């Protein structure tokens, strides 16, 4: 299998610190983005710890499993929380993809996202763990649930908080020409999926596509750190 990959992060125009981290490990076929939660202390440390633990776990086994690697990331960030912020804890999103036997496996906790772009169409591969999505889900089940607008983007799950971590791993068969984008909400909140798709649909190298996406997020306000990892399947 041949892949063309790129990864980039930008602090944006508002934040004082970049709390995003990424993994781009083509030899391991491993790619990830973590976005430290700014409302808690140590967001950058949480994101770095999560990606380090994920990478360590994947490297340590001949049959890597994302659910196990996410559990390792959770344990590592919880341990860091006990040392740095025992009262509030730490938190980070984590979205990761790994390729095994021509199959893409994707897992996510939080609101960093993974997209598949194929034959001119974009497909969101992950589910945002936000209050808004939780309310939508509960209403679909018949519950009468109200939502305060200011909390609509608040996370309901993250790496690093003392809750039972359930990670669903999805699988997708890959095809030649597929583009996969993993990114933080500094990109996805700055532009709709239709604009992301328009950038992914331009015939150019992934590094240029990713640069254009981040530049667009800055042009549209740059309100958050913007990070992405992108790879194109050149052959199977």
Residue-by-residue pLDDT tens, the chain, 236 positions: 999 999 999 999 999 999 999 999 999 999 999 999 977 779 999 999 999 999 999 999 888 899 999 999 999 999 999 998 888 889 999 999 999 999 999 999 999 999 999 999 999 999 999 887 777 777 777 777 777 877 777 888 999 988 888 898 999 999 999 999 999 999 999 999 999 999 999 999 999 999 999 999 999 999 999 999 999 999 99
154 touches 131 (CB < 8 A): yes
* pLDDT of res. 123: 98
The reported pTM is 0.94
What letter would DSSP give residue 36? B
Domain tally, the chain: 1
Nearest CA to 184 out of 80, 119, 88, 92 is that of 92
Order of strands, edge to edge, in the sheet holding 113-118? Answer: 2-10, 226-235, 179-183, 113-118, 121-124
Contacts of 173 (CB under 8 A, 6+ apart): 102, 103, 104
| Residue 93: CATH number of its domain | 3.60.40.10
| 194: containing domain | 2-235
CA–CA gap between residue 69 and residue 59 (Å, rounded): 10
* pLDDT given at position 164: 84
Place of tokens 């380090």: 52
In the DSSP assignment, the letter for residue 150 is G
The pLDDT of residue 124 is 97
């Amino acid at each position: 299998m041949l892949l063309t990959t790129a990864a980039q992060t930008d602090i944006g125009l508002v934040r004082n610190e970049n709390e995003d981290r990424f993994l781009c490990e083509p030899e391991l076929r491993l790619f990830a983005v973590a976005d430290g939660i700014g409302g808690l202390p140590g967001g950058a440390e949480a994101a770095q710890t999560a990606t380090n633990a994920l990478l360590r776990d994947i490297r340590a086994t001949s049959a890597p499993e994302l659910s196990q690697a996410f559990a390792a990331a959770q344990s590592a960030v919880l341990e860091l929380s006990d040392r740095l912020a025992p009262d509030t804890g730490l938190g980070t999103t984590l979205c990761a993809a790994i390729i095994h036997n021509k199959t893409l496996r994707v897992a996510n906790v939080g609101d960093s996202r993974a997209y598949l772009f194929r034959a001119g169409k974009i497909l969101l591969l992950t589910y945002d763990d936000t209050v808004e999505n939780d309310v939508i889900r509960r209403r679909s089940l018949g519950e009468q649930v109200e939502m305060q607008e200011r909390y609509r983007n608040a996370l309901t799950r993250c790496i690093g908080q003392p809750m039972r971590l359930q990670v669903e791993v999805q699988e997708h068969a890959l095809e030649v020409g597929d583009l996969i984008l993993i990114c933080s909400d500094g990109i996805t909140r700055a532009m709709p999926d239709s604009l992301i798709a328009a950038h992914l649909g331009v015939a150019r190298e992934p590094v240029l596509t990713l640069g254009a996406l981040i530049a667009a997020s800055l042009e549209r306000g740059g309100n958050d750190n913007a990070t992405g990892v992108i790879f194109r399947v050149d052959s199977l």
